[in-house]
């Protein structure tokens, strides 16, 4: 997981910076973005293994970003995140190819476990899959 590149997208800058910093402390190459546009910019500029995406954002929403990623970067794994647990959103996200769906506030350890399962679906994670 050390060579993992992760893009964390949320409209709350404070949240993004804290998560990025904590990822760095764990030796993970984390990049933050506070809008859908910024996230797509980052994806254009460099390659990422996993994108953690908030569904509800001003401007381009998470689901819209997910569609774009599917189109342009089909190899990137996407984990969706939401502040309110709408069953409809999670269903749509799953159909659009998101690998997981997390409810905010997300615990970093939970997030990392989900990320690990996403990139190693065959069972390379700490708890297996």
Partner 1 sequence: MTDTSQGSTEISDLVGTADLPEPEVPGEQVSESAYRRLRRMVVLATATVSLLPLAITVVINYVQFHEALQAEAVDPMARLTLNTKRSLELFLSERRSALTFLVHDRPFVELCDRAALTRVISNLNRSLEVGAFVDLGVIDDDGGQLCYSGPYELEGRNYSDQDWFHEVARRGTYTSDVFLGFRNSPHFAIAIKHDRPDGGFYVLRATIDAEMLSEQILTAGLQPTDDVFLINRQGILQSPSRHYGEILGQVPLPVPHYSPTVEVVELEDDRGRTIFMSSAHINISPFILVQIKPAREAMGRWFSLRSELLAFLFISAGLILAVILWGSGQLIRRMREADERRTALYHQVEYSNKLASIGRLAAGVAHEINNPLAIINEKAGLLLDLVTVGPETRHEERLVAAVDSILRSVQRCKKVTHRLLGFARHMDVQTETIDLENLLREVLGFLEQEAEYRDLTVSFQVQDKLPTAVSDRGQLQQVFLNILNNAFAAVSDGGRIGIELAREDADHVAVTIADDGVGIPKEHLQRIFEPFFTTKSGTGTGLGLSITYGIVKKLGGTCRVESEVGTGTRFTVVLPISREG
**Footprint on this chain of partner 1 (rule: CB under 8 A):** 10, 12, 14-15, 18-19, 21-22, 25-26, 56, 83-87, 103-108
- Smaller CB distance to partner 1: residue 44 or 88? 88
Residues whose CB is less than 8 angstroms from the CB of residue 65 and which lie 6 or more positions away in sequence, other chains included: 9, 36, 39, 40, 51, 53
Whole-number minimum distance, CB 93 to partner 1, in Å?
15
- Distance, in Å, from the CA atom of 29 to the CA atom of 27, rounded to the nearest integer, reads 7
Least separation in angstroms between residue 3's CB and partner 1 is: 20
Q: How far is it, in rounded angstroms, from Cα 63 to Cα 114? A: 19
From CA 12, how far away is CA 39, in angstroms rounded? 13
Residue 15 vs 119, nearer CB to partner 1 = 15
As measured in angstroms, the least distance from the Cβ of 10 to partner 1 is: 8
């Amino acid at each position: 997981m050390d060579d993992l590149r992760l893009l964390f997208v949320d409209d709350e800058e404070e949240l993004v910076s804290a998560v990025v910093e904590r990822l760095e402390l764990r030796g993970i190459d984390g990049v933050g973005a506070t809008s859908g546009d910024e996230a797509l910019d980052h994806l254009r500029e460099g390659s990422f293994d996993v994108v953690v995406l908030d569904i509800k954002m001003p401007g381009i929403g998470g689901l819209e970003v997910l569609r774009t990623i599917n189109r342009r970067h089909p190899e990137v794994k996407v984990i969706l995140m939401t502040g309110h647990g709408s069953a409809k959103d999670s269903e749509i996200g799953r159909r659009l190819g998101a690998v997981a769906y997390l409810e905010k506030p997300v615990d970093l350890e939970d997030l990392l476990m989900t990320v690990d399962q996403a990139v190693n679906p065959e069972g390379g994670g700490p708890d297996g899959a």
